[in-house]
Amino acid sequence: MQVTFDMVRNSPEIRTYITQADASLTALGFTEHSFAHVTKCAQVAADILTQLGYSPREVELARIAAFMHDIGNVVNRHDHAISGATMAFRILDNMGMEPADVAAVITAIGHHDDSTAFPVNAVAAALILADKTDVRRSRVRNKDMATFDIHDRVNYSVERSEVLLDTQAKTITLSLSINTQVCAVMDYFEIFLQRMVLCRRAAEQLSLSFRLEINGQLLL
């Protein structure tokens, strides 16, 4: 059976896990990981593979993997990529997804977490790029700026965030506008340097070069 993104997005089971996972992360003090995040990731991952000429099915699998990639947080933040991949296997298998498609999705989910991430294939690479570039003010839950930690400051400082793919130049650029009165550019690097390295590896898997632009200055 060909399981579609719409089937996954509208699944009450999957939506429940996303909701509860985000509730757990809220209690732990993390930024937003709910439907806004996973829907944006699904769109960005799909856009990347579409523009690069990948097949419609690969694009669909990237959407599905991106939408489901954080469900493992319902178990625990620690090793959430592994628990999420395990959960996705059971869910998608029960939905009747073909084994090859299940394998593509759970491989991407299982390789997306910062500490163990690796772009083992195009779907995994697209997920990494979509997930690690989702930096925006609306992800900050804490509304008291006096109590912001560095993660809050970095995300809150971002006034504009775009992922720009140039198929001719073979570059993919995370372009940010940051309010430096809220967060210094160096603070951004302190938090996100590892993620930017992952983005560079993911871009290379797709035969692209990753670039980071902050306030009009090309930094990577």
Torsion (CA) 173, 174, 179, 182 in degrees, nearest 10: -140
pLDDT of residue 139: 93
Question: Per-residue pLDDT for 220 more than 80?
Answer: no
% of the chain surpassing 90 pLDDT: 85
Torsion (CA) 137, 152, 129, 94 in degrees, nearest 10: -90
Q: What would the two tokens of residue 163 be?
A: 């992922």
What is the DSSP secondary structure assignment for residue 101, as one 8-state letter?
H
Q: What is residue 218's three-state secondary structure?
A: strand
Could you read off the pLDDT of 158-212 as tens digits, one per residue?
999 999 999 999 999 999 999 999 988 888 888 888 899 999 999 999 999 999 9
Q: Is 156 in contact with 145 (CB distance < 8 Å)?
A: yes
- The CATH superfamily label for domain 5-218 reads Hypothetical protein af1432 (1.10.3210.10)
State phi, psi for 75 to the nearest 5 degrees. Answer: -85, -55
Please state the pTM of the whole predicted model: 0.95
Domain ranges of the chain: 5-218
What is the DSSP secondary structure assignment for residue 164, as one 8-state letter?
E
Selection from 174, 37, 57, 143 nearest residue 105 by Cα: 57
Q: What would the two tokens of residue 43 be?
A: 């769109």
Could you read off the pLDDT of 61-102 as tens digits, one per residue?
999 999 999 999 999 999 999 999 999 999 999 999 999 999
Question: Per-residue pLDDT for 143 more than 90?
Answer: no
pLDDT of residue 65: 98
Give the span between the Cα atoms of 2 and 92, in whole angstroms: 10
> In whole angstroms, how far apart are CA 29 and each of 91, 204, 214?
28, 33, 26
Q: What would the two tokens of residue 147 be?
A: 């109590």
